Amino acid sequence: MSIGDWYASKDEADWRSGASFASREEALAQGPEALDLAAGDTFWVGCALAPANELTAAALLDTVDNSISDGGCPDGCDAYAEGDSFRGIAVAVGAEAVAELEAAIDAWAKKHDVRPRWFVLEDVTQHEVPESAEEPAPR
């Protein structure tokens, strides 16, 4: 699967065995033949998008916040920033520093190839193969 490609599948739950196309229109027009479907058979069409990346500066700072909240900071210490929370850390270092952390995390993830390897399918519609060669009608 590739980001932005359109897919046609016989099975709404299993897109790996489907066929890929450059556009929704191609998936609708060529999908039934690529999937070896007959008139009256049902198929689905959807677009593959990248999932949200959970490896973010906010997630890292939230983990630090949880560590502080869970007693990770010894009694009597000043913790990391005023307020001892993600908001305190983010405010103390400023938006520019949070953006720098975000860029560093993104560069590290790309360098070590630890980005999501799955896709989210959006705009999924169900169709029935028509009797004629015209575009399949949505169900």
* pLDDT of 11 strictly over 80: yes
Write out the two tokens for 20: 């890929």
Q: Where are the domains of the chain?
A: 6-51+116-138, 57-111
Residues 99 and 106 sit within 8 Å (Cβ to Cβ): no
pLDDT one-digit tens code per residue, 33-76: 999 999 999 999 999 998 877 888 888 877 777 776 666 566 65
Least confident window among 3-7, 17-21, 90-94, 131-135: 131-135
Its sign, for the CA torsion 72, 74, 80, 82, is positive
The pTM of this model reads 0.59
Length of the chain counted residue by residue: 139
Token look-up 């790996």 returns 16
